[in-house]
């Protein structure tokens, strides 16, 4: 079954890559600044957060990082940029089948191509933004060194979890349209329940205990450990989100295969 799935994806690789290219171009076709908006939008958010919170939160960062000039900006970017990748994949995946209803009904192609297109589109946006952030780290002398390669397994874990969760939401949203609305609200609460804008040390001890139920908290902390402190993360702390990601992917594929025919009728 897995081999047939991979063969189908490879056979339609032209369709996948063409869709990614068309979506990227159409997003900025009539825009004066074009693809620059991919950078300007998150940059504006980061500047606002940094200006508002840097004086309050910067001194609360743990260890020697509290005395670094750009410490809070790096801490903030480590969380917001990687969270944006997660939010884009899950947000787009939960509506991908609804948005492509006409395509699904008119053309015969592996429907699994649609979530893959979502991941690739999000990946392109992330590479552009994170590439500029990496330039900033190099220019300010804050590049973490060899530990930077530790970001690759973290990104794989995040994408695995995001696409698995996104596929589950995408299938359910076809039959229960409230799922998408509910997840949009949940995602906002989820962001603020994750230590991204504020350091973990600002939370009361009683509240910190609840973060064990937030799979993204350990992942965000791992990103911050590498980018802010230049240290390897505690890999053992990432087993829960890795296993959860694998479980979500397995459940998402099972739902997708079982309900694929019903989805076409529902759409």
Q: Scan for tokens 């944006």, then name that residue.
A: 84
Task: Write down the pLDDT at residue 143.
Answer: 92
Task: Write down the pLDDT at residue 79.
Answer: 92
Task: Write down the pLDDT at residue 21.
Answer: 82
Residuewise pLDDT in 10s, the chain (267 residues): 567 677 777 777 787 888 888 877 776 666 656 666 667 776 776 677 666 666 556 555 655 454 566 788 888 889 999 999 999 999 999 988 888 877 777 777 777 888 888 999 999 889 988 888 898 889 888 899 999 999 999 999 999 999 999 999 998 998 888 888 899 999 999 999 999 988 887 788 888 888 889 999 999 999 999 998 899 999 999 999 999 999 999 998 888 888 777 776 666
Task: Write down the pLDDT at residue 58.
Answer: 53
Q: Quick one: how far is CA 188 from the chain centroid? A: 14
Task: Write down the pLDDT at residue 51.
Answer: 67
* DSSP codes joined into one string, 31-96: -SSTTHHHHHHHHHHHHHHHHHHHHHHGGGSSGGGGGSTTHHHHHHHHHHHHHHHHHHHHHHHTTH
Task: Write down the pLDDT at residue 246.
Answer: 95
With vertex at residue 38, the alpha carbon angle to CA 222 and CA 214, rounded to the nearest 5 degrees, is 30
189 to 66, 78, 157, 238: CA distances (angstroms): 27, 19, 22, 22
Q: Quick one: how far is CA 110 from the chain centroid? A: 24
Task: Write down the pLDDT at residue 62.
Answer: 56
Task: Write down the pLDDT at residue 189.
Answer: 94
């Amino acid at each position: 079954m897995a081999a047939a799935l991979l063969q189908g994806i490879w056979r339609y690789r032209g369709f996948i890559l063409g869709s990614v290219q068309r979506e990227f171009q159409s997003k900025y076709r009539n825009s004066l600044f074009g693809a620059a908006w991919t950078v300007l939008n998150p940059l504006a958010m980061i500047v606002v957060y940094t200006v508002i919170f840097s004086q309050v939160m910067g001194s609360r960062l743990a260890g020697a990082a509290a005395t670094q000039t750009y410490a809070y900006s790096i801490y903030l970017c480590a969380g917001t940029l990687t969270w944006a990748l997660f939010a884009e994949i899950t947000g787009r995946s939960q509506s991908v089948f609804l948005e492509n209803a006409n395509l699904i009904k008119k053309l015969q192609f592996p429907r699994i191509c649609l979530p893959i297109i979502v991941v690739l589109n999000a990946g392109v946006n992330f590479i552009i933004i994170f590439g500029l952030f990496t330039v900033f780290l190099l220019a300010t002398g804050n590049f973490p060194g060899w530990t930077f390669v530790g970001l690759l397994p973290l990104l794989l874990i995040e994408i695995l979890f995001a696409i698995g969760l996104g596929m589950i939401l995408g299938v359910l949203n076809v039959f229960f349209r409230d799922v998408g609305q509910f997840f949009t609200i949940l995602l906002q609460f989820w962001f603020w329940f994750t230590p991204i804008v504020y350091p973990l040390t600002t939370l009361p001890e009683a509240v910190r205990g609840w973060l064990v139920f937030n799979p993204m908290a350990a992942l965000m902390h791992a990103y911050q450990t590498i980018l802010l402190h230049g240290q390897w993360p505690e890999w053992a702390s990432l087993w829960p989100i890795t296993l959860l990601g694998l479980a979500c992917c397995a459940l998402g594929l099972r739902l997708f295969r079982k309900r694929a025919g019903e989805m076409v009728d529902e759409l």
